[in-house]
């Protein structure tokens, strides 16, 4: 989960020379950052270095990353007229840089026999950024549009589902060997609102991406109350964050689907004996059953100790091998 970033010295050094969007939009730099954690750790897959928000740029929104402020949308979507103005263009035109970075990374990874994961933000998470203009705690504007102007909301989500689905498909066609749909903020909704206002559009995006014939991971946070609905929306793997017990969540989903998760990212700041205990607990809940991708419950955090990342990766491999 977000393998390269502010916790890695190599990445921080690169960021002294380039802004994050400059790295994302320069395929050679994005490829280099993709490879940083692969060179540092014995990971089982690489994740293309990108961000979910350039998809919104291609639709006509103005995006910047403020220093210490995170992403900012300077012309947020607040009205039916704003929604009508959003463009739906081919990803080969608007997101060509990530597709090219995927091709470069595949060449780098070939000799290591390591697969590459591509990803996109899901329609709801992109909608929340587009409407709020930045991150949000309560999503008042997003839910407000959804509740007060449902017809406008559905038009927005129709556009986003096409953009997301076609972007994921293009990544598979460029060489990504698995895809992940990030619905990071959908846990802000009730299950009833998810079913009515989100599920059809996540399903549509996944249906389009399915044409790429690669596995798809469907991920969200704070989604313990809607995992069954996420499964209904689609995906070969359902992400489980650390707010749910992995064994109970998997039992509820059914063992015919794979799961990903679910160590608390903050556990990587703990002393090694405590981190090892918590990692073992996750692995023990999976019971060695096929279809578990050990991962964090959300992205790795800035300041994460490198030594703990290394020891965790090695421990998971050793423990899994001894249990098999």
The vertex-234 CA angle with 262 and 5, nearest 5°, equals: 45
DSSP bridge partners of 72? 64
Q: Coil, strand, or helix at residue 300?
A: coil
Q: What is the mean pLDDT of residues 8-27?
A: 94
Angle between helix 306-323 and helix 27-40 axes, rounded to 10 deg: 60
Query: Does residue 141 contact residue 132 with C-beta atoms inside 8 Å?
Result: yes
What is the tens place of the pLDDT at every residue in 87-138? 999 999 999 999 999 999 999 999 999 999 999 999 999 999 999 999 888 9
* 116: enclosing H helix or E strand: strand 116-121
* Domains, the chain, with CATH or none: 9-239 (3.20.20.210)
The count of residues in the chain is 324
Q: Which residues contact 174 (CB under 8 A, 6 or more apart)?
A: 99, 100, 102, 103, 118
What is the tens place of the pLDDT at every residue in 157-191? 999 999 999 999 999 999 999 999 999 999 999 99
- Starting at the edge strand found earlier in the chain, the sheet holding 46-47 runs 46-47, 116-121, 178-183, 216-220, 237-239, 258-263, 292-296
Q: Is the pLDDT of residue 67 over 90?
A: no
Q: Residue 69: what pLDDT?
A: 64
Q: Is the pLDDT of residue 303 over 90?
A: yes
Share of the chain above pLDDT 70, in %: 98
Q: Which residues are marked as active site?
A: 2, 6, 15, 51, 129
Query: Does residue 104 contact residue 183 with C-beta atoms inside 8 Å?
Result: no
What is the tens place of the pLDDT at every residue in 198-241? 999 999 999 999 999 999 999 999 999 999 999 999 999 999 99
The vertex-59 CA angle with 57 and 62, nearest 5°, equals: 35
> What's the whole-model pTM score?
0.96
Does the N-terminal peptide bond of residue 262 adopt cis geometry, omega within 30 degrees of 0? yes
């Amino acid at each position: 989960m977000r393998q390269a970033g502010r916790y890695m010295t190599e990445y921080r050094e690169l960021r002294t020379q380039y802004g994050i969007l400059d790295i994302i939009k320069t395929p050679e730099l994005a490829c280099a950052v993709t490879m940083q954690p692969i060179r540092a750790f014995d990971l089982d897959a690489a994740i293309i270095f990108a961000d979910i928000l350039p998809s919104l740029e291609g639709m006509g929104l103005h995006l910047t990353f403020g220093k210490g402020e995170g992403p900012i949308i300077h012309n947020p979507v607040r009205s039916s007229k704003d929604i009508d103005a959003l463009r739906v263009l081919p990803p080969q035109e608007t997101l060509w840089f990530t597709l090219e970075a995927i091709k470069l990374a595949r060449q780098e990874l070939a000799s290591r026999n390591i697969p590459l994961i591509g990803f996109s933000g899901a329609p709801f998470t992109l909608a929340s950024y587009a409407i709020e203009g930045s991150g949000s705690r309560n999503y008042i504007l997003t839910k407000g549009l959804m509740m007060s102007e449902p017809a406008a909301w559905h038009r927005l989500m129709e556009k986003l589902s096409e953009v997301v689905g076609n972007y994921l498909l293009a990544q598979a066609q460029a060489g990504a060997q698995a895809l992940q749909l990030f619905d990071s903020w959908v846990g802000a909704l009730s299950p009833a609102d998810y079913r009515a206002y989100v599920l059809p559009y996540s399903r549509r995006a996944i249906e389009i991406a399915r044409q790429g014939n690669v596995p798809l991971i469907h991920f969200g946070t704070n989604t313990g109350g809607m995992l069954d609905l996420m499964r209904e929306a689609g995906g070969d793997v359902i992400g489980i964050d650390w707010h749910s017990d992995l064994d109970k969540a998997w039992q509820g989903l059914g063992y015919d689907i794979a799961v990903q998760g679910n160590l608390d990212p903050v556990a990587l700041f703990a002393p090694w004996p405590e981190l090892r205990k918590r990692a073992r607990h996750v692995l023990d809940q999976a019971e060695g059953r096929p279809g578990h991708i050990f991962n964090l419950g959300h992205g790795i955090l800035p300041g994460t100790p490198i030594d703990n990342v290394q020891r965790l990766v090695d421990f998971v491999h050793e423990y899994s091998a001894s249990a098999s």
